[in-house]
Amino acid sequence: MGVPGEPAYRLLANRLRGELADGVYSGGVRLPTEAELAVEHGVSRQTVRRAFHDLVAEGIVHRVPGRGTFASEATGRYLRQLGSIEDLMNLSADTTMEIVTPPRRQVDIEAASRLRLDIDVLYTVSFRRLHDAVPFVYTTVYLPETIGKAVADAPELAAGASSTHTMIGLIEPHLAMPIVQADQSITVAPAPEAAASAVGCEPGHPMLRVDRLYSNELDEPTELAISYFLPEHYTYRVTLRRR
């Protein structure tokens, strides 16, 4: 599933990720060449090369000079390279969102402050995300009341619902302006009981805590997401490029 207006190389990379996840190229089977993929998908070789570059950077394929491109051996961890809002939305391509606590209206002074709300009432929803049926992260999302009300009855957010959606994708149709920025902080934190129960570890287990505050082009916060990633099943990778 792609994002409207998404570059061709990302669409191709997502398709190849899906095939790799399904084991199409396991057991030493070589991936098609750049020329073969270009013809098959009606794109340029440069597009294919860029898609391969992303997959190599993520560590899910590797290139052998003179032989071709092959699937890397499975590590048991979910790895996704993140560098844009589109990358976050593309979690829907190969993971599943399973609702733990459906949207509910509550008071949370700290989250309201981070969202720069005039009141302390907001909506929260908690879910875990799975890859190959293995849970690797527990997330609590905090939404301004107007946005929370708009999605509160969405079937994808009902208790126990399972889908390939992302919260950004669900809330953005209800926003006056799209999300264009995510401010992120990463720390190591002990697993809260809710997170431990969701991903199957002991409370207090060291986890990777990632806080993301999403904003529109006017720098107005629209969503706060606090996630606890299980290190045994998740690798976080960011590519930094020099301008």
Q: Model-level pTM?
A: 0.70
Contact 236, 228 (CB under 8 A): no
Residue 17 belongs to some domain of the structure: yes
Q: Which whole number is the average pLDDT over 113-118?
A: 96
Clarify whether residues 127 and 227 are in a common domain: yes
Q: 27 pLDDT exceeds 90? A: no
Burial state string for 38-64 with b = 16 or more CB within 10 A and e = fewer than 16: beebebeeebbebbbebbeebebbeee
| Structural domain harbouring 37 | 8-71
Q: 236 pLDDT exceeds 90? A: no
Q: How far apart are CA 122 and CA 38, in angstroms?
A: 48
Residue 35 belongs to some domain of the structure: yes
pLDDT of amino acid 110: 96
Query: Of the ranges 79-93, 136-150, 193-207, 228-242, which one carries the lowest mean pLDDT score?
Result: 79-93
Instruction: Report the length, in residues, of the chain.
Output: 243
Alpha-carbon dihedral sign for residues 94, 182, 186, 200? negative
pLDDT of amino acid 56: 84
For all residues of the chain together, what is the average pLDDT? Answer: 88
Element (H, E) at 145: helix 145-151
> Which two tokens mark 159?
């208790």
Q: Can you name the residues that pair with 107 across neighbouring β-strands?
A: 121
Boundary residue ending a domain (71, 97, 113): 71
**CATH value at residue 32:** 1.10.10.10
Q: How many domains does the chain have?
A: 2
**CATH value at residue 138:** 3.40.1410.10
Q: Tokens 């619902």 — which residue? A: 161
Clarify whether residues 57 and 163 are in a common domain: no
Q: 35 pLDDT exceeds 90? A: yes
Residue 243 belongs to some domain of the structure: no
Q: 123 pLDDT exceeds 80? A: yes
Clarify whether residues 122 and 207 are in a common domain: yes
Q: Which of 231, 224, 225, 223 is nearest to 189 (CA)?
A: 231
Clarify whether residues 115 and 203 are in a common domain: yes
